[in-house]
Structure 1
């Protein structure tokens, strides 16, 4: 929002109060938190946590250890600032009930002016940056405070100057160039919260009534708040623009006044003309000689006062300009000095890092040589031990082979004996098994004959019982069939009756569902229409506020007309 130069950091409910705050991802939801940040001179972006990857992206040439240290320093600084903002916000919340108490009607305008003056003094005190906050923000805040004082002095000078035309009394001592007086707190009053929204609230209420009357829909509270904030922002921008124009006009008036004074004093005939007029008056009336003497003395005194006042004004204006140049030069030199110090420290750290890495490499090489020698010695010892163990194993294997051959001969003898004994036992077992098999076969033949007789008897008995059961079942089936036919008839009548009732019920439910769907469709259409009306009302509300706050210059209107003509000439 800066146009044509720097402007004083007025307190707004947005990110324009801070440098490089337009691209912030911080969402301002609490006016008190924003007010605390503005009082302490802290950007809301600096209160957000930052990951190690973001720090590495900002310092791409740094090592891992340096990145960790930078991140830890940032976190400590962020927590400290967050703690300060929380404490100041708690103080603001505690002060609000005291400041918002009922006032006596007799206080009137004077009480309001004193309150606003006190608020301005608090604002001026809190806008100073704390000494612990280091970096480039110190220089920027000092420069903004200096611009504040200069513009405030120009505004005060413009108020103190008389509005009458430039008359012959301009050479009076009371209009001599004097240094800029400090501004009164009532001239720089600003709102510190959302409480000073009386005029925008009235405008928003009127616009909301008009829109509600036209659209026949209630405007939401959110749209009203957005409209009020838009009006407040537009009002603050207009006030800042007016102050800037007033300051420029006052500065131009001062320059023109100074130029006129220089031109008047530089004329050599001015004092001679005044002296000639006095001589003529003396010749006209010789009785008024004492008056002529007094007038000459008076003119001499006035010219002396004028010359002294002019010299003082020129000295003060030149001293102010010198101060401005000195401040700018100190600001530039501080920045250059800080940059050179930072580069020297970075180069020293880089050199220290290289020396440390070289020392580590040398130590590692010595350690590797020692480990290589140690490994070779250990390898020789292991080879000697392996050879000794191999010889020992060969001797032990030979001894074991001899012992195993002796044992193998003994085992063969014993195994032959066991095989012979086993063969004799198997022959005896085979003979006994044949005898048992013959006896079992005889017993089985007898058992089968007995079973055949029993089966013949059972078959005959089954034939007799089957005939009887067939007759009984036939009689029972006849009875069951007659009963089933009767039950089937009854069930069929019952099912027909239930089917008729179900059809009637389904028709009733279908009618009811159709009426319900028709009703829901109407309600949905009504809600959609209501939503469209509310959206249109909010759109009209914002469009009217934009129309009220829109201020296009003649150049902008000319550019818009040229663009429209080019679009009409070359249609897409």
Structure 2
């Protein structure tokens, strides 16, 4: 990916940049057209150090010349061919875009996660991963911004190419060249500072490695000393354990001999105790046998005595039971007679009660029959009386209705008479009103005729004089 070089850069290249022309001349004719932009960019950035020099066979002279500077822009600076280069960018447009965006080219390089972990050994992998993601996001944003600025620069250059050259255009082109030169100078200063920083970092790394080696040697010596001390301590502990083991064995032997003596003494004591125990046990057995014989004899005597007492008690109980049975039989017989007498008495009382109930039922039946007959007769009397009362009420109602009809008929006749009188009075009033209206009409007719006659006889002058006369009379 190579930036196209405008015509003004080709024409505005300095005469002293002969390295680019020689490099272009050393390219074969079939690839010369493809190498022209690279040669022009190399001539424009002649002050920028080159990455590496590789031999190139010339077609005519066969001599080995240095290849032109590797063209690195914002699109191929991270390609495999750019690995090992001293510079990040060599394209003038890319450098100018970075300068306009205030972005250092080294900030566009991708970094590995292992580098972040190595720089901060105390951080965890999660923190290192977060830092890596943040760095990558910021790097991509800066790269996108620089690429957009580079596209803007290319559009400006194309616009200048297709715009007729004039004093203003020449001044703008000169200003643009000055800006590019200033950007290249800033880039060279930055790269020199980067070289110094790398050298300082290398020296610091060398010092750190020496310090680490010295620390490692000291650690190894300290470890050897500790191992020797540990070995001596283990040997001392082994000797102590051996002495303790020997003392323990001697003590165990003495304890075993003492234990054997104690066991012999205990066995003798046990034999003596067993003989004494057997003698005591035999004496106890003999005493227990005598005691058992005495207990059996006493038990036999007590059983015989208790058997005699039990026989006597049994005979006494049998006699008492016999007397009780006789007494109970006598009481039961007496109770049977009493119950029979009570049953007979209850039967007689029940029979008498039934007879009394039968007589009372007959009396109640007779009384009920009599009461029913009286009720029927009384009801018949009430029915007759109610019928008579209804007949009287019907006659009274009929008479009342007839009287009401007569009254209504008389009132109707009176109302008709009043209406006739009223109609006659109204007709008379109408006739009188008609006569009065006619007389009024005749009077008004005469008045109107009289007024008409007077109006016809009066003149305007007469009316004026009458008005003046009335006015003078009013003033007086």
Q: TM-score, normalised by structure 2?
A: 0.30
Q: TM-score, normalised by structure 1?
A: 0.26
Higher RCO (C-alpha under 8 Å, 6+ residues apart) = 1
